[in-house]
Structure formats: structure tokens, C-alpha cells
Amino acid sequence: MLSNLAVRDIETLVHPYTNLATHREVGPLILERGEGVFVYDTAGKGYIEGMAGLWCTSLGYSNEELVEVAAEQMRKLPFTHIFSGRSHDPAIELAEKLKEIAPVPISKIFYGASGSDANDTQVKLVWYMNNALGRPQKKKIISRLKGYHGVTVASASLTGLPANHTDFDLPIAGILHTSCPHHYRFAQPGETELEFSSRLAAELEEMILREGPETVAAFIAEPVMGAGGAVTPPEGYFEKINAVLAKYDVLFIADEVITGFGRTGNMFGTTTYGLKADTLSCAKAITSAYFPLSAVMISEPIYEVLVDQSRKIGTFGHGNTYAGHPVGCAIAVKTLEIYQRDDIVGHVRKVAPKFLQRLEKLAEHPLVGEARGVGLIGGIELVKDKATKAQFEAKKGVAAKSGAFAQDEGLIVRPLGGDRVAFCPPLIINEAEIDEMFDRYERALAKTLDWVKAEGLI
């Protein structure tokens, strides 16, 4: 029997990334409060938030310092924009701090409200820059199959997942997708990680040559693929990709929306994997998700183009109402202060061995074909046959079922396409909570195996 609140939800909301037909039957999980790494539903049941919300609540729930700085800024200056040369202290201070910690040389910061609009801005900046430089043909942007970069028209086109394209008339022209760097699923028999990386770099080069280097402007990649399955790159991948991009004068856009601010054991995934990025997108953990905010980190050469074109056209005609919102910027400044003061990166490095040990131990389970991660992010793949890597039929929803069993056990994880399951807990999680998180998921896996057998799927 659905509660009154659940019925009200069904009759009023369209939920993102939800089977809307199924939702009308089963209703929502309604959360009421959070504390640390736990969230609680309206019945008082607690759940370990094994996904930090959506890869984002890095400092956990009910952090009083963030709550207080938000309230203080609300009382002082709840809103102003930064259009037409206006500004405010939090926006300036945050930009200074981002420049200080950026993993590559950065000149300026452009604010937005989400990772999607940050990557949408990246597309527009690439097009704008090449028009300004007299290269109107150099506009194509290469993304990757299974990459995730957002849901606006442009950023969803960059995304390499079928559900984000089907019946939305996407991708738009000029967006290409090269191979997915998932060694477990796409390597040829006997192919080492280095050999796989070399093949994928060669395929990227072939694509650039086939399209014409004079038409290819940029390549975008997440250091760790998020919604595509929490997939870490194979050995040597980015080193080989870097070389191809440099050879053909192709900009590298690093999508740090998930990996930025400590997730991989460094402040940025760009550092962890040695990306030679020209520009970066970040969001999510920039405010520990306490306020919608994104930032595009812009290099000096790109900024110089913006200045020259502004002089020519009379304005830089891009931006949104909430860009540089003072409350969001103030929260982000405090968030970055906490990361540094509490050595959150050091904490991630301290507890990551426990996280990875428990994650990788899941590979011993009969249903788990791969279990791999870095820092405090990782994914597993559920398979029908471990020896052949044979997959279950997608419509059976085995990963989704395991996620439902996990929820029954008081754990929130994220089932993804290809029967992948992601783990991405708040960065403040301790070793005891990591053990409890995986204990709960192991119980969910046991239930999943029983269900799979009962359904005759193996």
C-alpha cells in the first residue's frame, strides 16, 4: 500500500532516469534526512549512501559548517548575478582557489549550475574559438562510447549511451564517438591492457584522419567513466591518447565532474591518470552537492580569444542567471577549505585500500565478472557466465534487482547499463563504514543469486 506522500509524488513528478511506468506501480523511496554517510527514509529506516547521492555528496550529510556558511551568505547577499561586469567576493575567492589547485595551467573560471551546462559550455567555446581563429571547419568533437557528459542537447550528444539519444534526435551533427576503454568487456582475447590501449589510440587516430584533422577540434573524456559503468582506464591509455591529440592539434577537455576534488586519491583525476588537458569541467563535489554549481576552467589561449572576440562583437554572449551564484560560491569556498584543512585527499588514500580490497573481493562471487576501482570509486559487472563473460539479457534487469535487494539491506548503490553496479560513497567514510557497506551488498548479492536461480536465468 503506497503512502499518501508516495501517491502525491506519482501524481506530480517526472523522475529523471526512471522507468516512469514502473514508478507508477512501485512508487518512490522518500528520504527525509541525512547524517554523515547515512540517509533516512520517512519510516526512519537508515541507508548507507553508497553513491554519495549522485557521485557528489563528498562531505556527507548535515555538515554544519556548510549549512552555516549558506545561511550566512543568504542573510548577507542571497543573490546577485555576474552579468555586465558585476561581481562579488565569493565568486572571486572561489575562482582564485580553483586556479591554485587546478591540475593544469588555468587562466580563468566560467561558472554554471551543473555538469551538463559546463560541458555544453565547452562545446560552445570550442566552436566560438575556432570561428574566431578563422578555422570554421575545425568543429568536430570526439567523445567515447559509454562516456557520460550530461543531458543538454550538446552534452547529451557527447554522452555515448543509447538511452540518452533514443527518440531525442541525438547526437547532433559534428559529435563523434570512439571506442570505450573498458578492457574487461571490449579487449580482444589475450590482449593485454597496454595492447588494448594502443589499439584504442590507433582507432582514435584513424577516426581523426578519416574525418580530416582540419575538422577535428576537441576530444572529451572522464578520467574514470561514471554513468558508463564506473570504469577505470586500462594501463597506458591516456598516455597514448595524449600523444594522438598533440599530433593533430586536438584540444583535450577533461570532464572532472565526478572525479574532481579527491575522488581518485588526488585532487583531480587528471593528475591520477596524467591527462594533458587544455580545459576542465567540474561540478558536484565542488560544493559537496550542497548547492548547484559548476565551473569550466579555461586556459589563457582560450581566454585571449574570448577577449579579442568581445572587443570585436561587443560582448561575450553566453551565460546563465545562476552563474556564480553567491550562495553556491560561498559554500564551494568553505568546501575547498574543509578539503584542505581536514586533508580529505589524505583520508581517501588512507581508506582506499580497504574500499578496493572489499570491492575486489566481490569478484569471488559467482555472479561478478569484474570488480575494479580507484580511490573511492569502483564498479562491478554481473554476468551470466564468468568464464565466457556472457551477459544476462538486458530486459531481465539483474543489476537493478541487486540494487533493489541492496536497498532492502539498507544500502544505496547505482545499477547501470550492462549490468554494472557502481559504488561511490562520501569521501568522509571510514573503514568500519566501508566494511558495513560491503557486508550489506554481499547479502544483497546472495539474494540476487537466489533470485537468478529461481528465475531460471542460469
Residue pointed to by grid coordinates 577549505: 337
- Cβ neighbours, 10 Å, residue 22: 11
- 269-283: b (≥16 Cβ within 10 Å) or e: bbebbebebbbbbbb
Residue 342 predicted with pLDDT over 90: yes
Whether residue 179 is found in the same domain as residue 324? yes
Mean pLDDT of 324-336: 98
CATH of the domain at 434: 3.90.1150.10
Query: 307, 341, 375 — which closes off a domain?
Result: 341
Which tens digit of pLDDT belongs to each residue from 236-277? 999 999 999 999 999 999 999 999 999 999 999 999 999 999
Whether residue 368 is found in the same domain as residue 397? yes
Whether residue 386 is found in the same domain as residue 428? yes
Which tens digit of pLDDT belongs to each residue from 343-353? 999 999 999 99
Query: 318, 341, 364 — which closes off a domain?
Result: 341
Contact 26, 39 (CB under 8 A): no
Contact 102, 371 (CB under 8 A): no
Element (H, E) at 182: none
Structurally, the chain folds into a number of domains equal to 2
Which tens digit of pLDDT belongs to each residue from 217-226? 999 999 999 9
Burial of 450 (0-12, 13-18, 19+ CB in 10 A): exposed
Burial of 16 (0-12, 13-18, 19+ CB in 10 A): exposed
Whether residue 49 is found in the same domain as residue 76? no
Mean pLDDT of 352-359: 98
Task: Return the pLDDT at 357.
Answer: 98
Instruction: Kindly indicate the confidence band of residue 229, based on its pLDDT and cuts at 50, 70 and 90.
Output: very high
- Give the mean pLDDT of the chain: 97
Residue 1 predicted with pLDDT over 90: no
Whether residue 89 is found in the same domain as residue 25? no
Whether residue 321 is found in the same domain as residue 407? no
Q: How far is CA 268 from the centre of its chain?
A: 12
Contact 381, 394 (CB under 8 A): no
Whether residue 22 is found in the same domain as residue 166? no
Task: Return the pLDDT at 410.
Answer: 98
Task: Return the pLDDT at 33.
Answer: 98
> Largest Cα–Cα distance of the chain, in whole Å?
69
Which tens digit of pLDDT belongs to each residue from 366-389? 999 999 999 999 999 999 999 999
Mean pLDDT of 306-325: 96
Whether residue 330 is found in the same domain as residue 397? no
Q: Provide the residue range defining the domain that includes 350.
A: 4-62+343-454
Task: Return the pLDDT at 334.
Answer: 98
Task: Return the pLDDT at 260.
Answer: 98
CA atoms within 13 A on the CB side of 394: 4
Contact 142, 204 (CB under 8 A): yes
What are the Cα distances from residue 321, in Å, to 83, 115, 310, 324, 327?
Answer: 8, 16, 20, 9, 13
Write the single-letter amino acid at 326. Answer: P
In this prediction the pTM is 0.96
Whether residue 185 is found in the same domain as residue 39? no
CATH of the domain at 216: 3.40.640.10
Whether residue 386 is found in the same domain as residue 440? yes
Whether residue 107 is found in the same domain as residue 253? yes
Integer Cα distance of 335 and 341 in angstroms: 10
Whether residue 280 is found in the same domain as residue 356? no
Query: 278, 311, 341 — which closes off a domain?
Result: 341
